[in-house]
Chain A
Amino acid sequence: METSIARFRGKDGTSALVRGVGYALIGLFALFCLLPFILVLGTSLTAEKTITLHGYNIWPRDFSTFAYKIVFENPDMIVGSYAVTLCITIVGTAVGLFVVAMTGYALQRPDFRSRNAISFLIYFTTLFQGGVVPFYIIMTQWFGLKDNYLSVLLPGLMTPFLVIMMKSFVRSIPHAITESAKMDGAGDFRIFLQLILPMTTPALATIGLFIAIGYWNEWYNAMLFLSPNMTYRPLQLFLYNVVTSADFVRNSSVASNIQPRDMPLESMKMATAVVATGPVILFYPLVQRFFIKGITVGAVKG
């Protein structure tokens, strides 16, 4: 399809002009999207003295890895944060993905009578919400989840959007497969587990990645429910604290025997950001096609 379009397209002047504008505009916008990342990386590798003198810069004028040295001088905090985030991400993604897949399969079965009612029950939560205040009270007072990692794990398990996306994915598998398996005497759960699940691996990859990226970037529930006296905070909350509070810098200056005024405050924020975001950026080229697939299937057809 791609090649046949290309062969025919644009031999006249106007088309060439449109194409030229396209290359320029998209190229510029792509650069605009990329530059801030290079700015963060560049600043994290610049000597603090240069930052205070010349400000942040895209290219490090005066290369220094001192900030990274300080960040890893006292690796306990950052390694702990990594471990917490990694555990929450793995457990949450595994559980969430299984539940979303199971629900998505059941809800698209045309012979499942309650599917519309349950679909509406799930969809309605996007229309009407209780707000953060009652949610906070219930999580802390009723369930006692203050300072408990479950308060970060549980809310991120699934979203209505992901259930709907899974539904549209599974719908592309012919219902005849389910029917013939039923005829052979297989139960619904067994059909899902042994027949449908292996056929939906691209969908599972997409939805799993959506859940995983949500957990990796999660800071809101962490900020709400985990108080600063917790030793190991999820990665993004840790980054938030490094960026916004002076306490952290004071603590690490004590730990690393450096005078507070000599601490590479600005470059350290950026170094922590690089360390916290690195894995996402590294995995990004490998996983982005799954996201593109998910958006294509999930967003257009509700």
Chain B
Amino acid sequence: MESVARTRANPKASSSLGSRMKLFWNDRTLLLMCLPAIAFFLVMSYLPMPGLYLAFVNFNYTDGMFRSPFVGFDNFQFLIHSGTLWKLTFNTVAYNLAFILFGNALQILIAVLLNELRTKWFKKLTQSLLFLPYFISFVLVGLIAYNILSYDYGLLNSLLKTMGMDPIQTYSNPKIWPYIIVVTYLWQSTGYGSIVYFAAIMGLDSEILEAAEIDGANALQRIRYIVLPWLKPTFIILLLFSLGGILRGNFGLIYNLVGANNSVLFNSTDIIETYVFRTLVNNFNFPLGSAVSLYQSIFGFIIVVSANWFMRKVSPDNTLF
């Protein structure tokens, strides 16, 4: 994360333990300033990590987290044999791939077109409107979806009825949910992403575009040969970030859209997070939940590191770390 070019103050300083302690002492105020944040991440993020040991036990409340009987890989075997792990992985990855693919395509398209527009108030107004859905809670997103999709009163069925078609039973039809989830995701996050890309375009030297213009390049040519190549590094960084999170599902979105217990839809909507959440809240099966979390973290980690390694080979300037 840190830029490598930054010079180190004194590279030879850490020769002995004594001088190292002295250096810590010199930095004591800065260390103290970091202490609250370090404590925060230790408690909130690192302290739960050893708890993943739960994945290998047969948990009971009297023995607690670390004294329950050890069962090895039994929990994983159950998850694999029941097909749960495969289904959760497939859904989580498929949704994320759809989000990355359609999300970035739409965001880049909108950012590039936004850059072509001239009417200032129109640009400002539409940017604000596009960004608006990003600021509301997932609870409201779920409610809005219900507003549109509900069988009895939903806007969708009202429209279908006025056009003389039969209403759809949305909440019991698993086949249409991938579309609903992806469209809702695009509705909520396109504004955010297109602003990232638009900001990157703003960093492009306007003289280059002007020169191309004078040489007779039309808008499509300018986009194709100047703007899009300029956006490539931003795209790669964002892609790396999202690939790193490919096993992390969007819990808030899917939980609030689908509902807590609508198991009819689970086949096409259940992701790792919603499954783990149910093991915690509904079934109290802590080991199964932890087993899935451990699997998620380990494979997620491997994916980030290999994506980063791959990028270092291909284009060393665009790596995460």
Contacts and interface: CB of A to CB of B under 8 A. Distances in A.
Interface of A: 1-2, 4-6, 8-10, 12-15, 17-19, 21-23, 25-27, 29-34, 36-37, 39-40, 43, 51-52, 54-58, 99-100, 102-103, 105-107, 109-116, 118-123, 125-138, 154-155, 157-158, 160, 163-164, 187-189, 192, 213, 216-220, 224, 236, 239-240, 243-244, 266, 269-270, 273, 276-277, 280-281, 284-285, 288, 291-292, 295-296, 299-300, 302
Contacts of B37: 99-100, 102-103, 122, 158, 163
* 3 nearest A-B residue pairs (beta carbon): A134-B51, A131-B293, A130-B48
Interface string B24-48: 1001011111101110110011111
A288 B30 contact: no
Contact of B192 (A132, A285, A295): A295
Nearest to A103: B37
A15 B51 contact: no
A295 B199 contact: yes
B2 interface: yes
Does more than half of chain A's interface fall in helix, strand or loop, or is it mixed? helix
B139 A243 contact: yes
A125 B51 contact: no
Interface stretch (B84-92, B169-177, B209-217): B209-217
Contacts of A138: 47-48, 51
B313 interface: no
B300 interface: yes
Given A4-B206, A10-B116, A302-B1, A18 B40 contact: no
B208 to A, nearest CB: 11
B126 interface: yes
B226 to A, nearest CB: 12
Contact of B139 (A113, A119, A240): A240
Interface string B105-144: 0000110011011111010011111111101111110111
Nearest to A154: B44
B265 interface: no
B220 interface: yes
A151 B234 CA distance: 36
Contacts of A100: 37
Nearest to A299: B196
A56 B120 CA distance: 35
Interface string B147-161: 110101111011000
Contact of A37 (B132, B218, B320): B132
B191 interface: yes
B168 interface: no
B104 interface: no
B2 A116 contact: yes
B296 interface: yes
A276 B140 CA distance: 9
A30 B147 contact: no
A5 B114 CA distance: 13
